[in-house]
Amino acid sequence: MVNASIYPALLIGVGGIVSLFLLLYVVPRFGRIYEERGSALPLFSRLLLTWGSAVDKHAPVVLSVFGGLILLGIYALRLANVRTAIGDALWRLPALGERLRMYQLARFYRTIGMLLRGGTPLVSALDMGGELLHPLLRERLARASQAIREGRGVAQSLEANGLTTPVALRMLNVGEKSGNMGEMLEQIAAFHDEEMARWVDWFTRLFEPILMAIIGLVIGAIVILMYMPIFELAGNLQ
């Protein structure tokens, strides 16, 4: 996921730098030219050039505000409460929340499988592996562990508390009946890792062109609004 996010992050960074360069350097100079010309401008061009004029007259203030917002964002992201709130918001998104759940379950299954193959009792392995889960899933795991202590089946207990997927449930049943639960849990984790890799690849292939189109539209709109009065002047001369 980190590797897949590098290219979109570069696109956003470069697009943001170009947009700021246009808004903070190019637009103010066009504003002075059109202000000296004194002719009527289209509405959106006037708004853009008003911004350029404000930047030109109060550049230190504008730059300070931008810098302050960036520092404030970095500081906010370092706060545990903010990161928790962002994580909870991501979990509520239907498609992304399900993928995050699958990722955590795959990591959980692999850890439990390794512990079981190392000789750790099942309930103890579940308690240790629960630290890897989101607090919401951790609460469900506590209920599932209690059910397993009471003698219920592993697959049944995990399914009742929303800690399985359809594929994982079938493989857990097989592992429980064959007595080879550790190896089966690791196979479940490997299967879901492959599913996550395919989803990330599909998402990046779709997201990158959309992101490039959005950045192009933003930069293109700024350029067109700057040059629109020139186009109108050329049309009047003809």
59-118 pLDDT, tens digit per residue, is: 788 778 878 888 898 888 788 788 778 777 877 877 777 888 888 889 899 999 898 888
Is 134 inside a domain boundary?
Answer: yes
Percent of the chain with pLDDT over 70: 89
In the structure, what pLDDT confidence band is assigned to residue 1 with cuts at 50, 70 and 90?
low
Residue that terminates a domain, selected from 47, 78, 109: 78
Identify the domain boundary among 54, 78, 102. 78
- Pair (31, 142) in one structural domain: no
Q: Considering 43, 78, 113, which residue would you say is the last residue of a domain?
A: 78
Weakest-pLDDT range from 5-9, 150-154, 173-177, 213-217: 5-9
- Check whether residue 146 and residue 173 sit in a common domain: yes
User: Which pLDDT score is estimated for 233?
Assistant: 62
Do 39 and 133 fall within a single domain? Answer: no
Residues 63 and 99 in one domain: no
In a domain, 4, yes or no: no
Residue 85 lies in a domain: no
- Indicate if 110 and 140 belong to the same structural domain: yes
CATH classification at residue 106: 1.20.81.30
Average pLDDT over residues 40-66: 75
* Per-residue confidence (pLDDT) for residue 49, from 0 to 100: 74
Q: If you average pLDDT over every residue of the chain, what do you get? A: 82
| Predicted local confidence at residue 90, as pLDDT | 76
Confidence band, pLDDT 50/70/90 cuts, at residue 3: confident
pLDDT of residue 232: 65
pLDDT-based confidence at residue 55 (cuts at 50, 70, 90): confident
Expressed as residue numbers, the domain containing 128 is 94-238
Question: Do residue 158 and residue 223 come from a single domain?
Answer: yes
pLDDT grade for 41, boundaries at 50, 70 and 90: low
Question: Do both 51 and 104 map to the same domain?
Answer: no
* Pair 74, 116 in one domain: no
What domain count does the chain have? 2
150 φ, ψ (degrees, to nearest 5): -80, 0
Share of the chain above pLDDT 90, in %: 1
* Residue 83 falls inside a structural domain: no
pLDDT score of 126 = 87
One domain, residues 147 and 206: yes
Count of alpha carbons within 13 angstroms of residue 223, beta-carbon side: 8
71 and 175, same domain (yes or no): no
Q: Please give, one letter per residue, the 3-state secondary structure of 155-186.
A: HHHHHHCCCCCHHHHHHHHHHHHHCCHHHHHH
Taking residue 180's Cβ as centre, other Cβ atoms within 10 Å add up to 14
| Residue-wise DSSP of 84-106 | HHHHHHHHHSHHHHHHHHHHHHH
Residue 163 predicted with pLDDT over 80: yes
Q: Specify whether 47 is located in the same domain as 110.
A: no
What pLDDT does 220 receive? Answer: 85
Mean pLDDT of 167-188: 87
Mean pLDDT of all residues in 181-202: 88
Task: Taking residues 120-141, report their average pLDDT.
Answer: 85
